[in-house]
Structure 1
Amino acid sequence: MRATLRRTPRVPRGGRAERGGCRGALDVTARRPHPEAGNPTSVACARRGARQGAPGSGRIGDVADPAPPPTESLVRLARAHGVAPEFQEFNGGPKQVSAATLVGVLGALGVDASTPERVEVALRDAEDAPWRRVLPPVVVVRRSQGAQVPVHVTHGDAVRAWIEVDGVEGRGRRAAKGDAGRVDLEQADVVVEPRTVDGREVGRATFVVPADLPLGWHLLRTSGPSGEGTAPLAVTPDRLDLPAALADRSVWGLMVQLYSVRSRASWGAGDLRDLADLAWLSGREAGAQFVLVNPLHAAEPVAPMTPSPYLPTTRRFVNPLYLRVEDVHEAGYLGSADRALVDWSAEQALALDTDDGPIDRDVVWTAKKAALDVVFAVPRSAARQSAFAEFRRREGRGLEDFALWCALVERDGPPPWPADLRDPAAPGALRARADLADRVEFYCWLQWLADEQLATAQRTAHEAGMSVGVMHDLAVGVHPSGADVWALGPVLARGASVGAPPDMYNQQGQDWSQPPWHPAELERVAYRPYRDLLRTVLRHAGAVRIDHIIGLFRLWWIPRGNSAADGTYVRYDHDAMIGILALEAHRAGAVVIGEDLGNVEPWVRDYLSDRGVLGTSILWFEKDAEGRPLPPEDYRRLALSSVTTHDLPPTAGYLAEEHVALRERLGLLTEPVADVRRAARTEREAMLTALRERGLLGDDPTEREVVEALHRWIRRTPSALVGVSLADAVGERRAQNQPGTDNEYPNWRVPLADGAGRLVLLDDLFGSARFRSLAAALAEG
């Protein structure tokens, strides 16, 4: 077949972007503040307010002066690279992006647009780039739809294309020359004029990838006089179906900040044994079907450890802070001297379990790390050593690079480092890989232990009767000086950070400090880092919650040196991003929940629903057309619905207006306190009235009765999943996180306690009358 005069319609790569701001623009739909962002003055304001800062960064930009508009060529270049030259502001009006911002964002993408001449060169390069490749870097298709794939060869040359199917599902399809697992492709009758590129006349042939190929990753190959080409081919599910256990019913589960859920054996912070025990007890004794935990992503390997679970050093690997030392197999074979060392470390941390002060991760990790160093020295059995070696082989270079980064931080302190340590392939890093081999092995070993203990937690959840089990949380991004930035190279854009545009409540915009995925580089490596982190998170999960799922469609990029307001949106290939997510979830048998609060156009939610991705509904945000509480029966079926979330005050705290009092004490209010209290009370009374109209609440209810009535309301929704904050189950009033603060409030360090501030340990949780009463109310649903 020859690449001559076949024409195909152009399909936009990224699809239609939603209108309006993302995580920072006003919308009539529900929204919430970003982790560690400034809390609105009431939950009503949270629904329409903006996120006020980054997870852990607190950086807020200045409003930029008016800038000259971009030229037509610069606009074309921006569009060619998925950069928005304009967008809809929070008030619905169009906003033209300045030329300087477009140049800055393009620069972060590696495109030089600094002069008109270079813009023209870059435009030609963007137009020629696909023609320089025989095949696209990667092809992602839905199983039932197939695709048309362009193949570029010297004009007039013959070319043939086929798929090497990976997996036994592919056996039995028509195979050329009797080769099992091979599918020959047919050329489409599409005419495209040849193009002269770099002095060579290049033709395009269009081949048809058939529908109904087996799900998974395959290899697309071409061959002919012009040479050979290869490209990974991902066949993804059309949609994720709910598991049979959820097909015709709604189930409820607990939402917890794991570090805050301590037992008397926790070493000062909740751990993976506590997670397993919580899953067993809540499943067996209360009928819960899942436990949603905060992101367990790895933080720094040495003190000080970033408290926010939403600003990790990597999203692929686990924070060993959550290990239970005594559950490590080799801990049972310690000699008396080594046992004494471990016990001495434990004493320092175990005392913290009954300390009602903020959780001190640094003390906890210092004690655990010392004990784990002792256990690491114990010889492993041949079988255990073989299992560890297999884990290292399976996780490959990604694990080894992360472990090397940890060893370097331990030796040299956190980045920035000298040039010879700039990345894993730098000369100093190569030397360190040998010099620090023992410490690299230690940090790989910690990840193996975490994998084992996560597997135990999920297995225990299923044994307790949970249909879903452990639900993990995937953070938006990573720390700008973390392991992923060091190890993943250009796949993360170094010249920009992620944030949100200005809106009515945050006219300066928001800068979250996190480097974004580079769309073209991510595509160039066939989404390998994205696939790797999804597989790790999903390995021992019944479900995963994707924080800020709109980030798989587009993100607000802020060029380095710009204010938060001086950014624009960069588009991602959402069909590929969501498709790969669906494929990996299908392989894991996991449910996917997208945090779709905020300014998200209906088409995006429709798209996610069509792919079987659940949304997120928060009771305080769900309103009907008149602004009244949305009736339970009108909630979405495909949703994780809850009364509150970790980004809002616990329900008891909201009812008592403690969130207003706290913000007043900290000087965070931007309106008179009387107005703030009045808004909070108005919203609360509207909800109480709705509860009474439904017969769920009496005239003079107690706080406990109101909390239970709110949960009965949400339990009556058709939503597949209903989340219950463990803080609500014990009457806690303190927020886990007070956005807009740093040291003024112990963000992400609040231990679980009741409404009187008394610690609630896991050992005592299921004897709590308040917990059991709420569980009984949930069972009525």
Structure 2
Amino acid sequence: MGDESADRADRLGPELAELAAAYGVATEYWDWRGNHVEVARATIVAVLAALDVDASSPAVIRRELTAAAQQKWRHLLPPCVATREDVATRFAVHVPHGAHVTVWVELEDGTRRGDVTQVHHLVAPQWIDDRLIGEATFSLPPDLPTGYHRLLARSDGRSADVPLVVTPARIPMPSSVAAHRSWGYAVQLYSARSRRSWGLGDLADLADLVSWSGRELGAGFVLPNPLFASDPTVPVEPSPYLPTSRRFISPLYLRVEDVPEYGYLSPAALASLEAIAQPCKAMNTSPALLDRDAVWAAKLAALEALQAVPLSPGRAGEYREFLAREGSALTDFATWCVLAELHGDDWHEWPVALRSPSSPEVAAVRSASASRVSLYCLAQWWLDEQLASVQARAVAAGMGLGVVHDLPVGVHPDGADAWALSDVLANGIGVGAPADEFNQQGQDWSLPPWRPDRLAATGYAAWRSLASGVFRHAGGLRVDHVIGMFRLWWVPAGMPAHQGTYVRYDHEALVGILSLEAARAGAVLVGEDLGTVEPWVRDVLRERGILGTSVLWFERQSDGSPLPPEVWRELCLATVTVHDLPPSAAYLSGAHVRLRASLGLLTRSVEEELAAFQSEQALWQSTLTARGLLRPGAGEQEVIEALHRYVALTPSRLVGVSLTDAVGDRRTQNQPGTNKEYANWQQPLCGPDGEPVLLDDLPTLERLRALAATLATLR
């Protein structure tokens, strides 16, 4: 009887399932093996609670269902309308039954469009709060220009004014990508140091890499890891995919000597900074794990010294323009950095009065610490200038795209964006991924997800701000886990990763806004669509002109054999490996199996995993040999070159080459499913002998040039 009672308690019931559907919460899904999975009741209740929906009892569920059904009837217009150009989108207007309503559009250039037409669509009126409310359906004109407009309505003494976002039906392909295929390096910038680096690769190193690889090797782009800000305290978060903000850049990437004010430091200040920098520079030739804490201490001291240099009148004017452009978002970020220095980097543990950026107490701290707030604003200005310089040098070197930036899925739950944007993020939820072939226990990345309802209610303001910022100095953008614009795997706090569920988003708005900003920037947009992705999602991305992602090890036919290169996708960024896999030299040896086994990440025996791996490698060896890309008995480097030749045979518009493969590195940068168990994101770029490889030495590295030569046919 006990088991039957527990089973009944865990059943959703039709009303809870209906309530979940109303908020886009999945009650079932199909896993990576094709098995149907029913989501547990406890998961559904917890996810709904994060959306401020109470599902604690049958009576409360019925009340919440009524509230959800009445929600749209209480408002004259929807909170936001997102549509595509050339589409006559319909939307509903709710007014007292029988009342007249006027609807019009104001374009972002100030032009008024009154050709919003009512269409016949009979809907029965509803009693809402003792008033009979009717629904009228209107259609937008199909020739609205792309942009951020306003939709307005007036009726019976009431008025409404909501955002109207018209996005391109398809992102125009940049001429450089349309004309010919292109290849470029994927690099973990922090790991790629030069002799002038302060212990970590920086924006000057990135500028040198784009300039040299563009001019000497014909590379068309460079794809660095996300460069976004981490906490201003120690220990510094090592993961570039767990930033404190996706709107601002990490000062760790600033080349101090390239800041214009550096040249006006006093001799004593210069000598002091050189003494601070020397221990960091000495790290460049060490294979030891990267020391972000030491580098941050040195660069923070440099920022403080640079702040003391007065700006020239021209520079001061440029800085004021930067501050005006960035507005309150920058001020909030800089204020959070100061508060983190004072109270620690978890804003949930701050005094209650400081947990909202709009509180009087936060304003008092901002005023009292104005100089320190200015320090973090100045740092972002200098970083913005250096980012602009990197892209300019890439274009000057002949790169068709230049820098393709990387957008992570989310932000640190305790960080600056989570604090400043807490009104549009879900509390008590971590974004992750269900179990798949490479992470069979699922993943919880701890990132707080966007709330779909709050995004819409605010006209997607936070997403629009983020999107416009990431394209400012970019020839392209890679969106990590692009499925997150369609649905995200929500894991309630305290539950294992595999007990989460999917929550749906309005992809027309999220994808559309990112597409609009890409089109305005003349940039390419790449979606990382690996893992469990519904087929229709890839159709949407293709229709919008968004490139997908193909990784050689994952491209297989139904029988498990390698997918012939001729049938790979054309609208795609194709690579042999990615940052979540070992470098090819390590992968070919089966090191990834042994590493996962040592970390307890396997769900079957090591012997079974190794047998499957060896079978896979045998298939690849025979495939490469049969195509004449590899001779029998070839060595490791020859195999790596043959794998890249295979990718070069595909029609994919973009081909990425990991810099670790180019230099023969063997150490894994990131092992998914681990936190402290493995030194993720802390490995310096090294050669096959384990000794550091500096960017200064790349031009003379024979294996790098040999691998680059395999891609010469792309141009």
> In structure 2, which of residues 155, 161, 164 is the aligned counterpart of residue 224 of structure 1?
155
Amino acid corresponding to residue 68 of structure 2 in structure 1:
A
Equivalent residue of 1:766, what SS?
helix
Matched, 1:513 2:446: yes
> In structure 1, which of residues 752, 755, 758 is the aligned counterpart of residue 685 of structure 2?
752
Amino acid corresponding to residue 107 of structure 1 in structure 2:
A
Task: Give matches, 1:419-458, under 5 Å.
Answer: 419-458=352-391
Amino acid corresponding to residue 207 of structure 1 in structure 2:
F
Match of 1:312 in 2: 243
Matched, 1:392 2:334: no
Partners in 2 of 1:503 and 1:269 — Cα distance? 33
Task: Give matches, 1:655-666, under 5 Å.
Answer: 655-663=588-596
Matched, 1:633 2:563: no
Q: CA deviation at 1:201?
A: 1.7
Q: Residue deviations 1:195-233, cap 9 Å, x none?
A: 221122222222211112111000111123232111110
Structure 2: gaps (5+ residues): 1-5
Higher mean C-alpha displacement, 268-277 vs 701-710? 701-710
Q: CA deviation at 1:681?
A: 2.3
Amino acid corresponding to residue 261 of structure 1 in structure 2:
A
> In structure 2, which of residues 534, 542, 545 is the aligned counterpart of residue 601 of structure 1?
534
Task: Give matches, 1:673-712, under 5 Å.
Answer: 673-712=606-645
Match of 2:396 in 1: 463
Partners in 1 of 2:703 and 2:13 — Cα distance? 64
Equivalent residue of 2:558, what SS?
coil
Partners in 2 of 1:638 and 1:395 — Cα distance? 34
Q: CA deviation at 1:656?
A: 2.9
Preserved contact between residue 272 and residue 457 of structure 1 (Cα < 8 Å): yes
Q: CA deviation at 1:741?
A: 4.0
Q: CA deviation at 1:665?
A: 5.5
Partners in 2 of 1:550 and 1:516 — Cα distance? 13
Partners in 2 of 1:165 and 1:233 — Cα distance? 9
Partners in 1 of 2:223 and 2:408 — Cα distance? 13
Q: CA deviation at 1:526?
A: 0.8
Match of 2:307 in 1: 376
Match of 2:174 in 1: 243
Partners in 1 of 2:648 and 2:198 — Cα distance? 35
Aligned-pair Cα RMSD in Å = 1.9
Q: Which has the higher contact order (CA 8 A, sep 6+)?
A: 1
Q: CA deviation at 1:773?
A: 1.3
Partners in 2 of 1:65 and 1:276 — Cα distance? 60
TM-score of the superposed pair, with normalisation by structure 2: 0.95
Preserved contact between residue 594 and residue 613 of structure 1 (Cα < 8 Å): yes
Q: CA deviation at 1:68?
A: 2.3
Question: Residues 195, 648 of structure 1: CA spacing in aligned structure 2 closer, same or farther, 3 A cutoff?
Answer: same
Partners in 2 of 1:85 and 1:667 — Cα distance? 30
Match of 1:337 in 2: 268
Task: Give matches, 1:495-514, under 5 Å.
Answer: 495-502=428-435, 509-514=442-447
Partners in 2 of 1:654 and 1:253 — Cα distance? 21
How many aligned residue pairs are there? 707
Question: Residues 666, 118 of structure 1: CA spacing in aligned structure 2 closer, same or farther, 3 A cutoff?
Answer: closer
Equivalent residue of 2:65, what SS?
helix
Q: CA deviation at 1:521?
A: 0.2
Q: CA deviation at 1:486?
A: 0.8
More helix by share: 2
Match of 1:406 in 2: 337
Matched, 1:764 2:706: no
Preserved contact between residue 609 and residue 638 of structure 1 (Cα < 8 Å): yes
Q: CA deviation at 1:127?
A: 1.1
Equivalent residue of 1:432, what SS?
helix
Match of 2:13 in 1: 71
Q: CA deviation at 1:95?
A: 3.1
Partners in 2 of 1:772 and 1:323 — Cα distance? 29
Equivalent residue of 1:394, what SS?
helix
Q: CA deviation at 1:664?
A: 5.4
Matched, 1:148 2:81: no
Q: CA deviation at 1:426?
A: 2.6
Matched, 1:121 2:63: yes
Q: CA deviation at 1:660?
A: 3.9
Preserved contact between residue 162 and residue 220 of structure 1 (Cα < 8 Å): yes
Preserved contact between residue 670 and residue 681 of structure 2 (Cα < 8 Å): yes
Partners in 2 of 1:139 and 1:68 — Cα distance? 38
Equivalent residue of 1:228, what SS?
strand
Partners in 2 of 1:358 and 1:518 — Cα distance? 37
Task: Give matches, 1:505-654, under 5 Å.
Answer: 509-654=442-587
Q: CA deviation at 1:534?
A: 1.5
Partners in 1 of 2:128 and 2:388 — Cα distance? 53
Structure 1: gaps (5+ residues): 1-63, 168-178
Question: Residues 657, 88 of structure 1: CA spacing in aligned structure 2 closer, same or farther, 3 A cutoff?
Answer: closer
Question: Residues 495, 115 of structure 1: CA spacing in aligned structure 2 closer, same or farther, 3 A cutoff?
Answer: same
Q: CA deviation at 1:117?
A: 2.2
Partners in 2 of 1:494 and 1:258 — Cα distance? 32
Q: Residue deviations 1:340-359, cap 9 Å, x none?
A: 22212211211111122111
Partners in 2 of 1:715 and 1:749 — Cα distance? 30
Question: Residues 775, 435 of structure 1: CA spacing in aligned structure 2 closer, same or farther, 3 A cutoff?
Answer: same
Question: Residues 339, 387 of structure 1: CA spacing in aligned structure 2 closer, same or farther, 3 A cutoff?
Answer: same
TM-score of the superposed pair, with normalisation by structure 1: 0.88
Preserved contact between residue 165 and residue 183 of structure 1 (Cα < 8 Å): no
Q: CA deviation at 1:249?
A: 2.4
Partners in 2 of 1:759 and 1:511 — Cα distance? 32
Equivalent residue of 1:184, what SS?
coil
Question: Residues 761, 311 of structure 1: CA spacing in aligned structure 2 closer, same or farther, 3 A cutoff?
Answer: same
Amino acid corresponding to residue 95 of structure 2 in structure 1:
V
Question: Residues 739, 301 of structure 1: CA spacing in aligned structure 2 closer, same or farther, 3 A cutoff?
Answer: same
Question: Residues 697, 306 of structure 1: CA spacing in aligned structure 2 closer, same or farther, 3 A cutoff?
Answer: same
Match of 1:286 in 2: 217
Preserved contact between residue 153 and residue 226 of structure 1 (Cα < 8 Å): no
Match of 2:27 in 1: 85
Q: CA deviation at 1:483?
A: 1.0
Equivalent residue of 1:439, what SS?
helix
Question: Residues 159, 181 of structure 1: CA spacing in aligned structure 2 closer, same or farther, 3 A cutoff?
Answer: closer
Match of 1:170 in 2: none
Equivalent residue of 1:599, what SS?
coil
Overall identity of the aligned pairs, in %: 53
Partners in 2 of 1:294 and 1:308 — Cα distance? 10
Partners in 1 of 2:31 and 2:594 — Cα distance? 32
Equivalent residue of 1:247, what SS?
helix
Partners in 1 of 2:57 and 2:552 — Cα distance? 51
Preserved contact between residue 624 and residue 643 of structure 2 (Cα < 8 Å): yes
Match of 2:277 in 1: 346
Q: CA deviation at 1:535?
A: 1.4
Preserved contact between residue 107 and residue 495 of structure 1 (Cα < 8 Å): no
Partners in 1 of 2:310 and 2:442 — Cα distance? 54
Preserved contact between residue 619 and residue 641 of structure 1 (Cα < 8 Å): yes
Question: Residues 729, 89 of structure 1: CA spacing in aligned structure 2 closer, same or farther, 3 A cutoff?
Answer: closer
Preserved contact between residue 402 and residue 475 of structure 2 (Cα < 8 Å): yes
Question: Residues 746, 72 of structure 1: CA spacing in aligned structure 2 closer, same or farther, 3 A cutoff?
Answer: closer
Match of 1:43 in 2: none
Match of 1:45 in 2: none
Amino acid corresponding to residue 216 of structure 1 in structure 2:
G
Question: Residues 664, 133 of structure 1: CA spacing in aligned structure 2 closer, same or farther, 3 A cutoff?
Answer: closer
Match of 1:721 in 2: 654
> In structure 2, which of residues 631, 647, 672 is the aligned counterpart of residue 739 of structure 1?
672
Match of 1:494 in 2: 427
Partners in 1 of 2:312 and 2:47 — Cα distance? 53
Amino acid corresponding to residue 711 of structure 1 in structure 2:
H
Q: CA deviation at 1:775?
A: 1.5
Preserved contact between residue 164 and residue 218 of structure 1 (Cα < 8 Å): yes
Preserved contact between residue 104 and residue 112 of structure 2 (Cα < 8 Å): no
Question: Residues 152, 675 of structure 1: CA spacing in aligned structure 2 closer, same or farther, 3 A cutoff?
Answer: closer
Preserved contact between residue 498 and residue 513 of structure 1 (Cα < 8 Å): yes
Match of 2:3 in 1: none
Preserved contact between residue 348 and residue 367 of structure 1 (Cα < 8 Å): no
Preserved contact between residue 67 and residue 98 of structure 1 (Cα < 8 Å): no
Preserved contact between residue 69 and residue 97 of structure 1 (Cα < 8 Å): no
